[in-house]
C-alpha cells in the first residue's frame, strides 16, 4: 500500500461528482421514497420495515461506491499510466491493494449518511451495539463489490466503464433485492436474487438487526463471492501487467 | 574520473511478429556520458529503450543497468524516464501528479524544486488535460528528474514541441547534464544529437551502424549533393574532381555527392554548360544510408 497514492486517489474521486451522487444521493432519495412512506408499525422478516429499507439502501450506496474504483483503474490503464508506474519503485501488488482500500474507504460515507438519515428522519431506534454491528457487517459487505470494481477496471475501456458500472450496479441491486424485498416478489425472483452477491450482503446486514444475530452462513457466502471475484480480478490484473 | 558502467546491452534482439525490431545491439554507456540514440522512425530506438528499462523482455541477450536488472535499478530510484507520450493522468492536477510521483520514490527531490527546474512552477493548480503538448512534456520532464536519478532516459522528448519550447527544454536538460547525470535520449533530429550529446549512437534496421562523437558522425554526413542539368557531361572528369565522392546520372541530370560543394560548383560554372543547379545538404536518412553503406563495404 502507498499512502500518497491513496490520498491522490481520494482527492481525485471526491472531485468526481458522479460517484458522490450515485453512492450517497441516490440511496437517500430511494430511502425517502420507499422507506419514509411506510407505516410506522410495518415489519419485514422480524425487523421494522423502515430499518429494513434503510439497511438495504445503505448497502446499495456502499456497493456502488466500492465498484466505482473500476472507473479509476480503467482510466489509469488507458494512456500508459501503468507504464509510468512500472518505471517507479511501486510494486504492482501495492497498486491493487491500494485500489481495494480505496473501494473500502469510498464505501464508508454512504453507510454513515444513510444510517444517520434513518436515525434522525426515519426514527430507526437501535442500541449502540446494533448500530456498530450493522455498520461493520455492512462495510464487510462492500468487499465483493470492491472485487467487482477490480474486474470491471481491468476489462472495461475508460469510455465504457461508467455505463458498465452504472448498469451492473443497478441490475445487481434490483435483482439482489436491495430495492424491493424479494419476499414481496414472485418466487422465481428469489432464486435469481440468490445468484447475486447483493442478496447475501443484504441478508447479512439485516440479520444484524434481528434477535438471532448476524447470519454466519450468509456472511460466508459474501466472503466466498469476495474470494472468487478477487481471484478473477487478480488474474485480469496479472494479464494486464504482463502486457503493459 | 569514474569508470562505472551505467548501461550495458549485450547481443540484444527483439522480434515482433515478422518484424525484427532490434537485431543484435551491443551498447555500453559509462556514467556521466550524454548519449543520443539517433535514427529514423522504425530504426529500433524505442524498442531498445523499452528493453533497457525492463518494459519489454529481449528475445536474446542481456541488459544490465548499474550492474543489475533494469527493475532493480528502477526500484532503487537510479533511473528517471520520460516517455514519448501518454503516461500521465489527464484528470489530475499538475501538483497532485508530481506529489504522487515523489511519494512513490525513496529519495525524491522536493516537488517545488522539480517544478522550478522544469519551468512549470506556475502550472501546479492546472489540470493535465488543460495543458498544451509542450507543457505536458515539461510535466513529464519534472516526473523524470524527481527521483534524483543517476541515469535519465528520454524517448524523443521534443516530439510535438515548437521551436521555442524545444530550445527551452534543452536548456533545462543542460542543467541536469551539468550536474553529472548520465543521459540517454532517442531522437530523429541530427541537430539535437549534435547540440546536446557528447556521443551519438546511430541506429538503422535494429542495429547500431555508427557510434562516435557528434563531430565524427557529422563529418561523415557533412557533404552536399549538387544536382545539375549538364548536357553531354564528361562523367569521368567530374568523378575525378577533388572532393567528389559519387556521380550519378538521370538522363541529362547529374547528381554529384561532394565533400566541398563550393569548389565543385565553381568548376561546374566555369568549365561546363551546367544549369538548373541545386545544392542540398544530406539529411539524416542520407547520412544513415551513407554510413551503413560504408560499414558494409568495410566488412566485405
Cα B116 from Cα B124, distance rounded (Å): 11
Cα dist from B71 to A95, B17, B52, B63, B65, whole Å: 16, 25, 10, 11, 9
Closest CA relative to residue B159, chosen from B52, B46, B56: B46
Nearest to A80 among B87, B92, B102 (CB): B87
SS3 A102: helix
What pLDDT, on a 0 to 100 scale, did the predictor assign at position A89? 92
Cβ separation of B104 and A90 shorter than 8 Å?
Answer: yes
Cα B238 from Cα B246, distance rounded (Å): 9
Q: Identify all chain A residues contacting B88, using CB atoms and an 8 Å cutoff.
A: 79, 81, 84
Any A CB within 8 A of B105 CB: yes
Any A CB within 8 A of B101 CB: yes
Rounded to two decimals, the pTM is 0.80
Q: Identify all chain B residues contacting A6, using CB atoms and an 8 Å cutoff.
A: none
Cα B216 from Cα B173, distance rounded (Å): 23
Nearest to A86 among B55, B90, B99 (CB): B55
Q: Identify all chain B residues contacting A88, using CB atoms and an 8 Å cutoff.
A: 74, 101, 104-105, 147
Distance of residue A128 Cα from the nearest chain B Cα, in angstroms: 39
Cα A150 from Cα B142, distance rounded (Å): 30
Which of A11, A18, A87 to probe by mutation at the B interface, max B CB count within 10 Å?
A87
Closest CA relative to residue B27, chosen from B209, B195, B193: B209
Q: Please count the other Cβ atoms lying within 10 Å of the Cβ belonging to residue B211.
A: 16
pLDDT along chain B (300 residues), means of 10: 81 93 95 91 92 94 95 94 87 94 94 93 93 90 94 90 85 85 90 87 90 76 82 86 85 86 88 88 64 63
Phi, psi of A89 (to 5 degrees): -70, -5
Cα dist from A231 to A96, A214, B292, whole Å: 12, 26, 52
Any A CB within 8 A of B147 CB: yes
DSSP-assigned states of every residue in B78-101: -EEEE-SS--S-TTSBHHHHHHHH
The answer regarding whether domain B5-218 maps to CATH 3.40.50.1100 reads no
Which of B76, B87, B99, B128 to probe by mutation at the A interface, max A CB count within 10 Å?
B87
- Domain limits, chain B: 5-218, 222-281
Q: Is the pLDDT of residue A181 over 90?
A: no
- pLDDT category of residue A109 using cuts at 50, 70 and 90: very high
What pLDDT, on a 0 to 100 scale, did the predictor assign at position A29? 94
Closest CA relative to residue B197, chosen from B90, B63, B37, B70: B37
Cα A8 from Cα B159, distance rounded (Å): 29
Closest CA relative to residue B271, chosen from B224, B239, B226, B233: B233
Once rounded to an integer, what is the mean pLDDT over residues A91-119? Answer: 93
Q: Please count the other Cβ atoms lying within 10 Å of the Cβ belonging to residue B1.
A: 5
Handedness of CA A69, A75, A78, A79 (dihedral sign): negative
Pairing mode, if any, of strands B275-281 and B253-258?
unpaired
SS3 B13: strand
Question: How far is CA B262 from its chain centroid?
Answer: 30
What pLDDT, on a 0 to 100 scale, did the predictor assign at position B113? 95
Phi, psi of B208 (to 5 degrees): -85, 120
Interface of A with B in 71-90 (CB under 8 A): 75-76, 79-81, 83-90
Cβ separation of B101 and A88 shorter than 8 Å?
Answer: yes
Cβ-Cβ contacts under 8 Å for B28 (sequence gap 6 or more): B5, B7, B8, B9
Q: Please count the other Cβ atoms lying within 10 Å of the Cβ belonging to residue A222.
A: 24
The answer to whether A83 touches A244, Cβ cutoff 8 Å, is yes
Cβ separation of B89 and A86 shorter than 8 Å?
Answer: no
In chain A, % of residues over pLDDT 90 = 59
Cβ separation of B104 and A87 shorter than 8 Å?
Answer: no
DSSP-assigned states of every residue in B63-78: EEETTB-HHHHHHTT-
SS3 B39: coil
Q: Please count the other Cβ atoms lying within 10 Å of the Cβ belonging to residue B252.
A: 12
Q: Identify all chain A residues contacting B90, using CB atoms and an 8 Å cutoff.
A: 75, 79
Distance of residue A216 Cα from the nearest chain B Cα, in angstroms: 40
Any A CB within 8 A of B75 CB: yes
Cβ separation of B55 and A83 shorter than 8 Å?
Answer: yes
Which of A2, A6, A77, A84 to probe by mutation at the B interface, max B CB count within 10 Å?
A84
Dig out the grid coordinates for B153 from the structure: 532516459
What pLDDT, on a 0 to 100 scale, did the predictor assign at position A198? 93
- pLDDT tens figures, A30-74: 999 988 888 877 887 778 889 999 999 999 999 999 999 999 999
Which of B49, B104, B106 to probe by mutation at the A interface, max A CB count within 10 Å?
B104
Q: Which CATH number describes the domain made up of B222-281?
A: 3.30.70
Nearest to B87 among A8, A83, A90 (CB): A83
Cα dist from A7 to A1, A80, A86, A204, B211, whole Å: 11, 21, 20, 31, 47
Nearest to A81 among B76, B89, B104 (CB): B89
Closest CA relative to residue B167, chosen from B137, B127, B145, B139: B137
Cα B263 from Cα B268, distance rounded (Å): 9
Closest CA relative to residue B88, chosen from B80, B78, B98, B102: B98
Cβ separation of B83 and A5 shorter than 8 Å?
Answer: no
What pLDDT, on a 0 to 100 scale, did the predictor assign at position B1? 44
Handedness of CA B173, B178, B182, B188 (dihedral sign): positive
Distance of residue B127 Cα from the nearest chain A Cα, in angstroms: 11
DSSP-assigned states of every residue in B161-217: --HHHHHHHHHHHHHHHHTT-EEEEEES-HHHHHHH-SEEEEEETTEEEEEE-HHHH
Dig out the grid coordinates for B206 from the structure: 535494429
SS3 A21: helix
Cβ separation of A5 and B96 shorter than 8 Å?
Answer: no
Any A CB within 8 A of B100 CB: yes
Q: Identify all chain B residues contacting A15, using CB atoms and an 8 Å cutoff.
A: 91
The answer to whether A59 touches A139, Cβ cutoff 8 Å, is no
Cα B212 from Cα B221, distance rounded (Å): 13
What pLDDT, on a 0 to 100 scale, did the predictor assign at position A133? 93
Any A CB within 8 A of B72 CB: no
Which residue of chain B has the CA closest to A5? B100
Cα dist from B132 to A97, B157, B186, whole Å: 34, 15, 22
Q: DSSP secondary-structure letter at A124?
A: -
Which residue of chain A has the CA closest to B92? A12
Report H helices in A22-178: 26-30, 49-67, 69-77, 81-86, 92-106, 108-120, 128-140, 143-155, 158-175
Cβ separation of A83 and B77 shorter than 8 Å?
Answer: no
Which residue of chain B has the CA closest to A244? B55
The answer to whether B243 touches B259, Cβ cutoff 8 Å, is yes
Distance of residue B277 Cα from the nearest chain A Cα, in angstroms: 49
Nearest to A89 among B86, B99, B105 (CB): B105
Cβ separation of A80 and B102 shorter than 8 Å?
Answer: no
Amino acid at each position: 500500500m502507498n499512502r500518497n497514492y491513496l490520498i491522490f486517489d481520494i482527492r481525485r474521486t471526491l472531485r468526481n461528482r458522479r460517484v458522490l451522487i450515485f453512492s450517497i444521493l441516490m440511496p437517500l432519495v430511494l430511502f425517502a421514497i420507499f422507506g419514509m412512506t411506510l407505516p410506522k408499525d410495518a415489519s419485514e422478516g422480524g425487523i421494522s420495515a423502515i430499518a429494513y429499507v434503510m439497511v438495504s439502501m445503505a448497502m446499495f450506496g456502499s456497493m456502488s461506491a466500492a465498484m466505482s474504483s473500476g472507473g479509476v483503474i480503467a482510466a489509469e490503464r488507458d494512456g500508459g499510466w501503468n507504464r509510468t508506474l512500472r518505471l517507479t519503485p511501486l510494486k504492482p501488488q501495492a497498486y491493487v491493494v491500494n485500489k481495494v482500500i480505496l473501494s473500502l474507504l469510498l464505501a464508508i460515507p454512504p453507510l454513515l449518511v444513510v444510517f444517520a438519515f434513518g436515525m434522525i428522519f426515519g426514527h430507526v431506534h437501535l442500541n449502540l451495539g446494533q448500530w456498530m454491528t450493522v455498520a461493520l457487517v455492512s462495510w464487510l459487505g462492500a468487499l465483493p463489490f470492491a472485487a467487482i470494481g477490480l474486474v470491471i477496471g481491468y476489462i472495461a475501456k475508460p469510455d465504457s466503464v461508467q455505463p458498465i458500472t452504472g448498469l451492473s450496479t443497478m441490475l445487481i441491486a434490483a435483482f439482489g433485492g436491495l430495492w424491493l424485498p424479494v419476499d414481496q416478489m414472485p418466487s422465481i425472483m428469489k432464486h435469481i436474487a440468490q445468484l447475486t452477491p447483493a442478496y447475501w450482503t443484504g441478508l447479512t446486514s439485516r440479520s444484524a438487526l434481528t434477535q438471532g444475530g448476524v447470519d454466519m452462513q450468509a456472511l460466508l457466502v459474501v466472503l466466498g463471492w469476495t474470494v472468487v471475484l478477487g481471484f478473477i480480478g487478480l488474474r485480469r490484473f496479472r494479464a494486464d501487467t504482463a502486457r503493459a | 574520473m569514474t569508470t562505472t558502467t551505467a548501461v550495458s546491452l549485450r547481443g540484444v534482439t527483439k522480434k515482433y511478429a515478422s518484424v525484427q525490431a532490434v537485431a543484435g545491439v551491443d551498447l555500453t554507456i559509462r556514467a556521466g556520458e550524454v548519449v543520443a540514440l539517433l535514427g529514423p522512425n522504425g530504426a529500433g530506438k524505442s524498442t531498445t529503450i523499452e528493453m533497457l528499462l525492463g518494459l519489454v523482455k529481449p528475445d536474446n541477450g542481456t541488459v544490465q543497468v548499474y550492474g543489475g536488472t533494469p527493475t532493480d535499478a528502477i526500484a532503487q530510484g537510479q533511473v528517471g524516464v520520460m516517455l514519448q507520450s501518454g503516461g500521465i493522468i489527464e484528470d489530475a492536477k499538475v501538483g497532485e501528479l508530481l506529489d504522487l510521483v515523489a511519494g512513490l520514490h525513496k529519495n525524491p527531490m522536493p516537488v517545488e524544486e522539480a517544478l522550478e527546474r522544469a519551468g512549470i512552477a506556475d502550472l501546479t493548480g492546472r489540470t493535465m488535460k488543460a495543458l498544451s503538448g509542450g507543457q505536458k512534456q515539461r510535466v513529464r520532464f519534472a516526473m523524470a528528474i524527481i527521483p534524483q536519478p543517476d541515469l535519465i532516459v528520454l524517448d524523443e522528448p521534443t516530439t510535438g514541441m515548437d521551436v521555442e519550447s524545444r530550445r527551452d527544454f534543452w536548456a533545462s536538460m543542460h542543467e541536469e547534464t551539468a550536474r553529472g547525470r548520465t543521459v540517454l535520449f532517442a531522437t530523429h533530429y541530427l541537430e539535437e544529437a549534435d547540440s546536446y550529446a557528447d556521443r551519438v549512437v546511430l541506429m538503422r534496421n535494429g542495429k547500431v551502424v555508427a557510434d562516435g562523437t557528434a563531430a565524427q558522425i557529422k563529418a561523415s554526413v557533412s557533404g552536399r549533393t549538387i544536382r545539375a542539368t549538364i548536357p553531354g557531361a564528361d562523367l569521368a572528369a567530374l568523378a575525378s574532381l577533388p572532393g567528389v565522392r559519387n556521380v550519378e546520372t538521370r538522363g541529362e541530370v547529374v547528381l554529384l555527392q561532394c565533400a566541398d560543394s563550393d569548389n565543385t560548383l565553381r568548376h561546374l560554372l566555369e568549365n561546363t554548360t551546367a544549369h538548373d543547379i541545386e545544392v542540398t545538404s544530406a539529411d539524416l536518412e542520407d547520412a544513415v544510408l551513407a554510413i551503413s553503406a560504408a560499414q558494409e563495404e568495410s566488412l566485405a
